[in-house]
Amino acid sequence: MRRAQATAVIAVLLLAGCSPAPDATTGTPSAPAGTPSGTSTSATGPQTLGRPATVVDGLDAPWSLAALPGGGFLVSQRDDGRILEVGPTGSVRVAGTVRGVVHVGEGGLNGIALWTGDGGTWLYAYHATAADNRVVRMRLTGAAGSYGLSAPQPVVTGIRTASTHNGGRLAFGPDGMLYVTTGDAQHSDDAQDRDSLNGKILRVTPRGDPAAGNPFGNAVYSYGHRNVQGIAWTPDGTMWATEFGQNTWDELNVIVPGGDYGWPVVEGRAGDPRYRDPLLQWPTDQASPSGLAAVGDTLYLACLRGARVWQVRTAGAQVVGDAVAQLTGFGRIRDVAPDGNGGLWVLTNNTDGRGSPRPGDDRVLRVTVNG
């Protein structure tokens, strides 16, 4: 782990309506291509964001954030398998290292999520091994400022692994079930095979059993995905997901049980009734979306190659108005998560081998959300 320390320095970037910082991305990023399905043209302006403040810096290839009870959060580091505890004031310590993590390419320690039940609070982690991608859970031991992790228990195993297209996001839905995103792991035909765990969004119980009501009687909730790395729910229960395209279109989708999202037959909008079209699509150099967060009815998409956060307003299962580019100037953005106080945590990702690290990378930013 590189130096990780709290800092009260406010990041120099000024957001929409202000002058950009000297190292900020210049120009106005293009809006998503095409007209979003169900778009309203009578929307008022989007939420406004405050200036980002650095909470912690010096992270090594961080991948995911999980809010802790009582404040603060945990961060996963992909390459070394470490889980860091960040306190409400920015203190940083290693809570533990997830056993069995093998880092190859994009594989390693990826998404994390917290759940309370079965007599304790558990940290769930998606990670690569020498044989597969899997989900494990570890009991969170100790107390704030001294958390530790028990030995891992397998939850879902046998997900194909590869150097790319591993998926890896975890989230507990409003129904209390665990949702797991998997990539096609360079075997694109698996995405259309409903008996394969790859190229899917899975829905399982906290112990890993297929959840009741799943459309195919197994763990599969939706299929035809290339590489989903972001899922979130807006207050009415609509489920949203971000998906990496191959060469042409990245996607924002509404997820429904049993939905076929088209990969590898189609990428982006197809207009084919066999598949569900994305509500928004972006050229891959403007997005490459990973983490996804909802603050009220507004979605925030963390973008890697696009090096920004797209802000998207919704109403039900529709997109309202145009997407707005935010938080340019920090390089690659891997994850974005609600901070529990109406704002956002934003996780940069410039030390993963594909970015251009600058002093202090990688870091977690806190951003206030107004409106």
Q: What's the pLDDT tens digit per position in 47-102?
A: 999 999 999 999 999 999 999 988 999 999 999 999 999 999 899 999 999 999 99
**The two three-digit tokens of residue 277, written as one number:** 């079209």
Q: 100: helix, coil or strand?
A: coil
Whether a cis peptide bond, with omega within 30° of 0, leads into 362 is yes
142, amino acid identity: G
Domains and CATH numbers, the chain: 48-370 (2.120.10.30)
Is pLDDT at 3 greater than 90 in this prediction? no
pLDDT at residue 97, as a whole number: 98
How many angstroms separate the CA atoms of 73 and 264, rounded? 36
Residue 163, token pair as written in the block: 């150097």
Residues 161-165 have a mean pLDDT of 97
Q: What angle do CA 344, 175, 137 make, to 5 degrees?
A: 75
Q: Across residues 170-174, what is the average pLDDT?
A: 98
Q: What values do phi and psi take at 178, rounded to 5?
A: -90, 125
Which of 29-33, 157-161, 249-253 is the least confident region? 29-33
**Which pLDDT band, with edges at 50, 70 and 90, does 36 fall under?**
very low
Confidence of residue 46 (pLDDT cuts 50, 70, 90): low
Task: Please state, for a pLDDT cut of 70, what percent of the chain lies above it.
Answer: 88
pLDDT at 10 over 90: no
pLDDT score at 113: 98
- The SS3 of residue 259 is coil
